[in-house]
Chains A and B, each alone.
Chain A
Amino acid sequence: AQSVTQPDIHITVSEGASLELRCNYSYGATPYLFWYVQSPGQGLQLLLKYFSGDTLVQGIKGFEAEFKRSQSSFNLRKPSVHWSDAAEYFCAVGLNNNDMRFGAGTRLTVKP
């Protein structure tokens, strides 16, 4: 079945540590790929997106993500996490029929 999987429901990291959030998708063609961030009780803000070209994409707030076709993955990374990065992160896939599918989200907690 077509899906977007975020294997980690909740991740805790210490402030200043590196971060990697995983995302895998199972669609036939290479879809458009997105990472969004959501603070509690707020809407979603786009962090970055991948359509084609360079498989390492840079986003806002110091985030980056790497598309790996062979692994059907689009993992989000940040070298040094700040306390303000605590939020929920959603991976999303844009399909050909004007549709977007979201993963279940990963909640990030940042320890002081």
Chain B
Amino acid sequence: DGGITQSPKYLFRKEGQNVTLSCEQNLNHDAMYWYRQDPGQGLRLIYYSQIVNDFQKGDIAEGYSVSREKKESFPLTVTSAQKNPTAFYLCASRYTADTYEQYFGPGTRLTVT
């Protein structure tokens, strides 16, 4: 089955530690996205990548980093510089010849204490 997988579903870390969230897709999509979701705020774009080895900052990139070494994979690292890292993180992908429709993974809930 084609789709987007995010792992783990739940992640717990201590403050001051970096943590990497996994996102993999087998849809052969060109573009991949990371969003952060907080209650009552909808989705906010962290980073996106349209091709391998290239990515752009979204609206709230501070404290986050990404890489895109393979078309299928777009991991997100939440660094210790992110002031409020506890949130629900969603990965999405899109076939760029399509009209902007994005497909979403199941999400990772990160809790930092």
Interface residues, chain A, with chain B CB atoms under 8 Å away: 4, 9, 32, 34, 36, 41-46, 49, 51, 90, 94-95, 98-100, 102-105
Contacts and interface: CB of A to CB of B under 8 A. Distances in A.
Interface in B16-41: 31, 33, 40-41
A43 B107 contact: yes
B86 to A, nearest CB: 15
Q: Lowest 3 CB-CB distances: which A-B pairs, in order?
A: A94-B100, A43-B104, A102-B42
Contacts of B105: 43
Contacts of A32: 99-100
Contact of B100 (A4, A98, A104): A98
26 contacts: A32-B99, A32-B100, A36-B104, A41-B107, A42-B106, A43-B4, A43-B107, A44-B43, A44-B104, A46-B101, A51-B99, A94-B101, A95-B100, A98-B48, A98-B50, A98-B96, A98-B100, A99-B45, A100-B33, A100-B45, A100-B100, A100-B102, A102-B43, A103-B42, A104-B40, A105-B42
A44 B90 contact: yes
Contact of A9 (B6, B40, B104): B40
A51 B6 CA distance: 29
B109 interface: yes
Contacts of B43: 44, 90, 102
Main secondary structure of the interface of A (DSSP, over half): strand
Contact of A45 (B45, B99, B104): B104
A4 B41 CA distance: 12
A4 B6 CA distance: 27
B99 A90 contact: no
Residue picked from A41, A51, A100, most chain B C-beta under 10 Å: A100
B66 to A, nearest CB: 16
Contacts of B88: 41
Contacts of B41: 104
A44 B42 CA distance: 11
Given A34-B101, A46-B101, A98-B100, A41 B109 contact: yes
